[in-house]
Amino acid sequence: MRRTARRFDTFDRKFDKTISAVLLGIGFTETEPYVFTRPDSIGRDFACFDIAGKCFTVSLGYKPLYMDEIDRLYGHLIMPNYGGCSYLTPKYMTHRPKEYPCQSAAQRDRSFAMVAKGLTTHAPDWLASLRVPVCYADAMPPTAMMYLGRANEVAGRLDRAKESYEEQMRRELACWEMNGPAEAAALQASRAFVYLCLKLGRELDKCERVMDALKFRPDVEPFPG
């Protein structure tokens, strides 16, 4: 069973002694069960532990403030907390989930030791590197088109940014065609469509209908050029 709340059992006591102590020592705070954050003046780091019955994963990431405008498009929906996010292994970061076994006490203790090693060796430098916009864009999940577009736009890689925005626009228009104008205009997920129309200066008639339906009129800076 996945842990969504603290149980203060042997697992939690070992977790706090081995893992929490490391994170608290470098400035993180546990803001939700097994979720740790560390804000600064330009964004926030996060460390998330997804703990199932037999194993767990550790994802680390950073969310700069300039990504908040994308978050606001999805804040009313259940969405993952996209940031420059990767999974922690003892030696490097990866986009592929690294599962740490924890079914037995021996597995749990060995896994906690490996996580603590990763948190104290390569993870701090990786998190620090994400303050550089190009590095942050490189760490973005490749399928998160809106986030990838915004990250590359800020990084000055406008060709990559536009490619991501255009791909998401293609998906939004496919949804429009599939659902019909009235239903598409009423979909709450269409906030992203509004953002893209204003960003790219396209499909403005459809955009106006969606903004009226959602009562949503964001201030969006047009795409450069």
Over the stretch 122-141, which tens digit does the pLDDT of each residue have? 999 999 999 999 999 998 88
78 has pLDDT over 60: no
Count CA within 13 A, CB hemisphere, residue 183: 7
Q: How confident is residue 83, by pLDDT bands cut at 50, 70 and 90? A: low
Question: Which residue in this structure is represented by tokens 């104290």?
Answer: 120
pLDDT band at 205 (very low <50, low <70, confident <90, very high): very high
- Per the CB < 8 A criterion, the answer to whether 179 and 200 are in contact is no
pTM of the predicted structure, to 2 decimals: 0.86
Q: Which pLDDT band holds residue 1 (cuts at 50, 70, 90)?
A: confident
Residue pair 113/106 in contact (Cβ under 8 Å)? The answer is no
pLDDT given for residue 214 in this prediction = 87
Average pLDDT of the chain is 91
The Cβ of residue 97 has, within 10 Å, a number of other Cβ atoms equal to 12
pLDDT at 75 over 80: no
For 45-54, what is each residue's pLDDT tens digit? Answer: 999 999 998 9
**Closest of 84, 81, 216, 24 to residue 207, by C-alpha:** 216
Q: How many alpha carbons fall within 13 Å on the CB side of residue 124?
A: 11
Residues 211 and 185: beta-carbon distance below 8 Å: no
Confidence of residue 145 (pLDDT cuts 50, 70, 90): very high
76 pLDDT exceeds 60?
A: no
